[in-house]
Structure 1
Amino acid sequence: MQRSKISFAVCTALLCSAAQAKTDTSFLNLDNVTVITSSIDSESDTTQSNDVILQDEIRSINAQNVTDVFKYSPNVEVTGGPSGDVKSISIRGLGQDHANVTIDGARQTYSHSKRGSWAINPNLLKSATVTNGTSSGAAAGAVKLEFISAYDLLKPDASFGALVNSGFRSNNNQQDLSATIYGLNNGFDWLLSASDSSHDPYSIGGGYQRDGKDSYYKTGGENQSYLFKSGYDLSPSEYIGLSVYMDNSEWDQVRQDYGYNTRDYTSAVLNYSNQGSNSDFLDFNANVYINQVDTYTREYTDETKATTSDTQKIADDSYGFMLTNNSLLNGPFEETLLHYGLSGHFTTHDGEVGTLDNGSWVDESAQSEPSAKSHQLASWLNAQMLLGNGFTLIPSLRYDEFYVESSNAEFEGEALLRDGRTENQLSTGLRLNQEINEKLNLFVAYDEALTAPGLSELFTSGRGFKPNPNLKSERSQNKEIGFTFNSGSVITHDDNLLAKINVFQNDIKDYIGTDYTDPAYKDGVKVNRDEIRLRGGEILTQYRYENWDVSASYGMTIGEDLTTGEYLSDMPSDKFVVSIENQLSDEWRLSGKATHALKRHRVPTTQIDRNGDTVTIPEDERQSVSAWTTVDLYAEYIPAQLQDMTLSMSVSNLFDEAYALQNNSRADTKAEYYEEGRSLNIDLSYNF
């Protein structure tokens, strides 16, 4: 496929170097001025705060799940748990529900406490990108996942290949096995992959024992994944592709409930692109997609897993589309790039919860898991204007609409959202990039976004939550400034230093948080807070010399409720990450990562009780989290005589640190929410 003039213009305007899905060339996805470029270790000079994790790194860190892929990213926190099947991430203190998440271009809104947010096998990913900051109609930012294709695995001049992979993790006896075949013929590429993974409960670090146990039985599980991906070159500039992914997972329901979850996830995406290589006005991309998530929970009374008759049957289905185009204009400035598009995302949530009474089904869905539907529509127009003298101006305009209704939801006898509810907003944005010289670039930005509540927040997402159908959408205003410094020959003639600093302040009206003021609902209720402020930033540095690569990052987010003056409880710990890598030879690559999280002491000290009174939170119930440090070591070996084989080895949590990412004062033991202790991990792959 040829590349359009517009692709070159976009990269020139914003100094990008991101890899396009099928080709090894540069392109930008500019949905609402989210600059999806490459990470700190790329040739990019953009000041956008983001992190791109590519396939080789995902494999080398032996990621257990998708959240593990992002655990080193600055200002990204792993939340949920302790089971990896129910973990998610937060970006700058905002949970995954506050982000625009796409997988191969399909938007994902499935995110339910106790039932997980991800159904993705990280070993099938080509790349994972997280972008911090208000963008793409979301207050937190964007997460973009992309599956591998035949183009990523085929050897030069080959038309067929196969990949087998086997992995083992010592701490939880995790065993992974996958097989992939792929090919390319006359412009038609295809890939078919199947994988299986199972793991026992993991042991936490520090030699912790309680009642002779150092693990929590709910952290075991298994899953099977299947990926089919194909495409065809309709012409040198046109491409049509299909991606189908299926995953079946089983795990114990976490927190204070007893149950065994089974989840079937299916995603299908059909995409079309026309880069119009001879036209300045055509660089068109379109996709349509379907996501289906079916979850079935068998309830039991205790950890002996004695099954009762209680069941939960949940179906989350969504479909949608996205249409975008780029047009390049010459004048009145040096160059102007217009990026515009439309998107729609439609969701239905069908719940069936009940018990068997004398052989008859008693439906309790209206109280515990109601049926509902929603849609999110958006349109946007961005103009990127080269003003001369190194200035690029990017004004933006975006319209979002959110609608939700329920056919059977009720609370305390009152019907909820029968007639539906609509919210909308016209959001504006303005960004200015200044290339001061060939080494230094400056960036300032203002962005607005409307972030709609998820169905799981409006209703329940499982028993134990108090529904709040009156939740309003969040309205965020993010201000940000940053710079990038990129220079060679800093100490010697063949080294390079790259540094990025971003500072932000995100003011959010009607922020969606959680209150635990009603003891009848142990999992709390989602509420709107009048106005909150998030502030902080990221610092990233990288130094390269010959075969050495040293990088360091720091992320901090402070969240405050401007009405009460209290800190917010959901903010991440301040985190440092230092990484050292050395390519010892053509066969051996060694690296190590050290992560240090400071004590999370900025936590609320008071709360509003069910009577509306302000009460002090007992010190032992506050959400403070102790400081912790982990060290992970990695090695990769590719034999000179057998270069089709790759052996990846790692030791995670080398010093067996006992640590928690979040405080759970309601847990009976540390094992219920502490993270995995030391583990020896091995991954062996053969590509032939």
Structure 2
Amino acid sequence: MKTTTAKRVALSWLMCSTATLAYAQDDTAFDLGVLRIQTSAAQAVLGNDEITETEIEQRNPATVADVFAGESAITASGGAPIAQKVYVNGIEESLLSVTIDGARQNKSAFHHTGNVLLDPALLKSVEVSAGLAPADQGPNALAGSIAYTTKDARDLLDGDDPFGGRYTLSYGSNGQGFRNTLTLFGQNDGFDYLLSGTRATGDDYDDGSGSTITGTRADLTDYIAKFAYTSQSGKRLSFSASETTDSGLRASQGGFIRPDFADVIGRDTVLYEALSQRTSYTLTYEDENPSGIWAPYAQLSYNEQAMDVGSLYGVNKSLSGVLSNDFTLRNGSVNVGVDFFDESAEGYDNTVSPRSSSGREELSNIGIFAQARQDLSDRISVSYGGRYDWASFEGADGSDFDASGASVNGSVDYVLNDQWTLNAGAASSWGGYELGEAALVNFRTPWNYDGFTTSRANAVRLGLRYDSGPWAVKGALFDTEIEDINAVLPSSGARGAVDDLTSRGFDGSVTYTGARGFATLNYTYADVQTNDATTATTAYYLGRPVGHIFGFEAGYDVTEEWRIGATAQIALENDDTDVSLDGYEVVNLYAEYKPRRMENLNVRMDVQNLFDATYASRSSDGLGLANVVPLTEPGRTVSLTASISF
């Protein structure tokens, strides 16, 4: 893609703006304390929720779906990792900005598979913005963002320990099988490193009725390596590389895998050795001990996702980067920077050897941004910002498109009294163009781009929170509207067809925190519509009709050595769809033992789907369709996990 004059002007404007900011301030360091607009309580009401390291450890996830156990606003489809997709208030993650350790991720290469293949073995935290993503979260954040952060050596070593390791072994009934993770890490004279590998194998699981769900066996391999150097003054340069592969036998009909369905009526099902593979490389520089106004951050990353889905093969590639500085103000900070990506989606005919390309699309983007976060007074905190993006797109037929657009956002946190706080936020986000589905480029008919255009989202959120003693209560009304979403999965090759998507509703929670435990009840109602009609359960790359969802999570320290806990999800019947979607209730329990005489040992037992319910996740594909047998979730499953550190 050629760099346009407008892009050069934008870069010049950014550098001049940065220089002006630097000139306008001296190098005095200010003690900001904690900005109230950035506290977890304030952000949660605004839809910017963080799943912390402690919460992830309590959920003991084996898949991405497990990471969101007990949540209601964030749901995931089920089955094998190759099929799992994440939804935020019913909107699919492909309409959000998704990053891993800050590196941008591209969308799925095939609609019957998940978007981002991720093993949670080293997951540290997940930050989710529902509708109101800040400007420095990256481009294309139409419905918000999901930011995954993984652990490095410093998260696993105590103090100045030079070397350590951790081995985790789990075994589960009902097809869960064995899961092994070995991680080695160390540090010396500013250098630190981490090497980790995970292997998970199992059998096809049975659902609550005892039916075996073909093609769901675990067959996942994950490798990750991280190397870094931190100077005495806090300058840190890090490099990470990872490869995650799911390559099990998957159910296939008519030459294409459909791991998101249990079966397709009227079509024979055969098993195919499918492949989903994500490979990533990331180089990052940051100043962890900034002085004065300078707190620079720079990152360059490459990400590739490949899918072997039977007769077709698809590859998504993404090269992205960001350069920014977080300028310190007397009452807050402003993050100013530039980011870019250069991506492609390419499909292949997989029935010939060697496989041959059927077509390719390319999309590039460069953006400038500024996001301020400030405490205006003891009662009022604000976050506001904007970005401007320039996008270039080349279609599979060689056609070229160029466009640009602005995005703005703002939110306020207003303290009413000692217990009550009001929150409000709004955002208008330019989404640019969308790459089509890689595996299906020019499939059966050449793609055309008549009417091809850019998308835009408008979102508002109004919330209230109460915090007094052990009780914390929050609730918010939300409305997200996305217009002119290009046909990622085009009918008869018409990439210029567009859809409008809305998600409106309410989400809230009640939390009680005691001296030895906690309990949280979450509730979300999301009315998700496509073109003013309830979204279908096969509205790929758009959303799902989630309706009313309850989530529950609790934990209690019985003694210093023993902890028990539970998660649950309840979905009410949804009769807004053409065929009513059944409700369900699923409960998971765990008990954890950490002996005082062996602090490096942790033993845990999980019982998932305690009551052996037969159900399909509300976020699953094809619910209520006459020609689809929905993918039901595993029945009761008992697993034992042992982890030892050395």
- Is TM > 0.5 for Structure 1 vs Structure 2? yes
Alignment of 1:679 with 2:637, yes or no, is yes
Aligned residue type for 1:74: S
Partner of 1:160: 163
Give, in angstroms, the shift of residue 389 of structure 1: 4.6
Partner of 2:392: 403
Q: Is the 8 A contact 1:653 1:678 kept in 2?
A: yes
Partner of 1:343: 339
Aligned residue type for 1:196: R
Q: Is the 8 A contact 2:243 2:277 kept in 1?
A: yes
Partner of 2:516: 547
Alignment of 1:391 with 2:372, yes or no, is no
Alignment of 1:224 with 2:221, yes or no, is yes
Give the structure, 1 or 2, with the largest relative contact order (CA under 8 Å, sep 6 or more). 2
1:274-308 Cα offsets, whole Å, 9 max, x none, are 255330x11211111111233334x4xxxxxxxxx
Alignment of 1:593 with 2:567, yes or no, is yes
Alignment of 1:566 with 2:533, yes or no, is yes
Q: Is the 8 A contact 2:462 2:477 kept in 1?
A: yes
1:188-227 Cα offsets, whole Å, 9 max, x none, are 11111111111221111134xxxxxx12222124121111
Q: Is the 8 A contact 2:61 2:120 kept in 1?
A: yes
Aligned residue type for 2:568: A
Structure 2 residue aligned with 1:633, among 584, 589, 597? 589
User: Residues 554 and 180 (structure 1 numbering): CA distance in 2 closer, same or farther, change over 3 Å?
Assistant: same
Partner of 2:302: 290
Aligned residue type for 2:335: H
User: Residues 675 and 461 (structure 1 numbering): CA distance in 2 closer, same or farther, change over 3 Å?
Assistant: farther
Give, in angstroms, the shift of residue 585 of structure 1: 0.8
Give, in angstroms, the shift of residue 687 of structure 1: 0.3
1:362-441 to structure 2, matched below 5 A, reads 363=356, 365-366=357-358, 370-406=359-395, 409=396, 416=397, 418-441=398-421
1:218-257 to structure 2, matched below 5 A, reads 218-253=215-250, 256=253, 257=256
SS of 1:659's equivalent in the other structure is: coil
Aligned residue type for 1:104: D
Give, in angstroms, the shift of residue 95 of structure 1: 0.7
SS of 2:335's equivalent in the other structure is: strand
Work out the CA distance in 1 between the residues paired with 2:591 and 2:157.
24
User: Residues 585 and 527 (structure 1 numbering): CA distance in 2 closer, same or farther, change over 3 Å?
Assistant: farther
Please identify, of 244-253 and 540-549, the stretch whose mean Cα deviation from structure 2 is larger: 244-253
User: Residues 567 and 64 (structure 1 numbering): CA distance in 2 closer, same or farther, change over 3 Å?
Assistant: same
Aligned residue type for 2:325: N
Give, in angstroms, the shift of residue 105 of structure 1: 1.0
Give, in angstroms, the shift of residue 438 of structure 1: 3.7
Alignment of 1:501 with 2:467, yes or no, is no
User: Residues 627 and 453 (structure 1 numbering): CA distance in 2 closer, same or farther, change over 3 Å?
Assistant: farther
Alignment of 1:653 with 2:609, yes or no, is yes
Q: Is the 8 A contact 1:468 1:527 kept in 2?
A: no
Q: Is the 8 A contact 1:459 1:467 kept in 2?
A: no
RMSD of equivalent CA atoms? 3.0
* Pairs aligned (count): 587
Give, in angstroms, the shift of residue 104 of structure 1: 0.9
Alignment of 1:473 with 2:429, yes or no, is no
Give, in angstroms, the shift of residue 454 of structure 1: 3.9
Aligned residue type for 1:201: D
Work out the CA distance in 1 between the residues paired with 2:626 and 2:603.
39
1:71-104 Cα offsets, whole Å, 9 max, x none, are 432222223x543312111112211111111101
1:96-152 Cα offsets, whole Å, 9 max, x none, are 111111101101013232343222211121222222123144122111111111112
Q: Is the 8 A contact 2:405 2:432 kept in 1?
A: no
Work out the CA distance in 2 between the residues paired with 1:336 and 1:641.
46
Give, in angstroms, the shift of residue 343 of structure 1: 1.0
Give, in angstroms, the shift of residue 506 of structure 1: 1.7
Aligned residue type for 2:415: E
Q: Is the 8 A contact 1:460 1:467 kept in 2?
A: no
Give, in angstroms, the shift of residue 253 of structure 1: 4.7
Runs of 5+ consecutive residues of structure 1 not aligned to the other structure: 17-37, 208-213, 300-310, 410-415, 489-495, 604-621
Alignment of 1:102 with 2:99, yes or no, is yes
SS of 2:62's equivalent in the other structure is: coil
Partner of 1:74: 72
Work out the CA distance in 1 between the residues paired with 2:66 and 2:496.
27
Aligned residue type for 1:566: A
Q: Is the 8 A contact 1:5 1:277 kept in 2?
A: no
SS of 1:218's equivalent in the other structure is: coil
SS of 2:376's equivalent in the other structure is: strand
Partner of 2:465: 484
Work out the CA distance in 2 between the residues paired with 1:567 and 1:635.
41
Please identify, of 254-263 and 424-433, the stretch whose mean Cα deviation from structure 2 is larger: 254-263
Work out the CA distance in 2 between the residues paired with 1:579 and 1:45.
20
Please identify, of 456-465 and 131-140, the stretch whose mean Cα deviation from structure 2 is larger: 456-465
Work out the CA distance in 2 between the residues paired with 1:48 and 1:90.
17
Q: Is the 8 A contact 1:15 1:46 kept in 2?
A: no
Aligned residue type for 1:133: G
Alignment of 1:575 with 2:556, yes or no, is no
Q: Is the 8 A contact 2:562 2:593 kept in 1?
A: yes
SS of 1:291's equivalent in the other structure is: strand
Partner of 1:557: 526
Q: Is the 8 A contact 2:387 2:408 kept in 1?
A: yes
User: Residues 180 and 652 (structure 1 numbering): CA distance in 2 closer, same or farther, change over 3 Å?
Assistant: same
Q: Is the 8 A contact 1:166 1:176 kept in 2?
A: yes
Q: Is the 8 A contact 1:200 1:219 kept in 2?
A: yes
Aligned residue type for 2:324: T
Give, in angstroms, the shift of residue 362 of structure 1: 8.6
Q: Is the 8 A contact 1:241 1:272 kept in 2?
A: yes
Q: Is the 8 A contact 1:126 1:146 kept in 2?
A: yes
Partner of 1:84: 81
1:486-534 Cα offsets, whole Å, 9 max, x none, are 222xxxxxxx111221211122222457999x7x89xx999423x4432
Q: Is the 8 A contact 1:515 1:526 kept in 2?
A: no
Give, in angstroms, the shift of residue 629 of structure 1: 0.3
SS of 1:67's equivalent in the other structure is: helix
TM-score (normalised: structure 1)? 0.79
User: Residues 225 and 82 (structure 1 numbering): CA distance in 2 closer, same or farther, change over 3 Å?
Assistant: closer
TM-score (normalised: structure 2)? 0.84
User: Residues 667 and 57 (structure 1 numbering): CA distance in 2 closer, same or farther, change over 3 Å?
Assistant: farther
1:9-408 to structure 2, matched below 5 A, reads 9=32, 11-16=34-39, 38=40, 47-79=45-77, 82-112=79-109, 113-135=111-133, 136=137, 137-207=140-210, 214-253=211-250, 256=253, 257-258=256-257, 259-275=272-288, 277-279=290-292, 281-297=293-309, 299=310, 311-330=311-330, 335-356=331-352, 363=356, 365-366=357-358, 370-406=359-395
SS of 1:343's equivalent in the other structure is: strand
Q: Is the 8 A contact 1:433 1:441 kept in 2?
A: yes
Q: Is the 8 A contact 1:577 1:594 kept in 2?
A: yes
SS of 2:82's equivalent in the other structure is: helix
Give, in angstroms, the shift of residue 675 of structure 1: 1.4
Aligned residue type for 1:590: I
User: Residues 349 and 120 (structure 1 numbering): CA distance in 2 closer, same or farther, change over 3 Å?
Assistant: same
Please identify, of 55-64 and 470-479, the stretch whose mean Cα deviation from structure 2 is larger: 55-64
Work out the CA distance in 2 between the residues paired with 1:548 and 1:232.
39
Give, in angstroms, the shift of residue 57 of structure 1: 3.6
Work out the CA distance in 2 between the residues paired with 1:164 and 1:506.
43
1:453-464 to structure 2, matched below 5 A, reads 454-457=434-437, 460=440
User: Residues 680 and 11 (structure 1 numbering): CA distance in 2 closer, same or farther, change over 3 Å?
Assistant: same
User: Residues 668 and 82 (structure 1 numbering): CA distance in 2 closer, same or farther, change over 3 Å?
Assistant: farther
Q: Is the 8 A contact 2:423 2:464 kept in 1?
A: yes
Q: Is the 8 A contact 1:275 1:284 kept in 2?
A: no
Give, in angstroms, the shift of residue 10 of structure 1: 7.3
Aligned residue type for 2:457: S
Q: Is the 8 A contact 2:338 2:368 kept in 1?
A: yes
Work out the CA distance in 1 between the residues paired with 2:486 and 2:202.
35
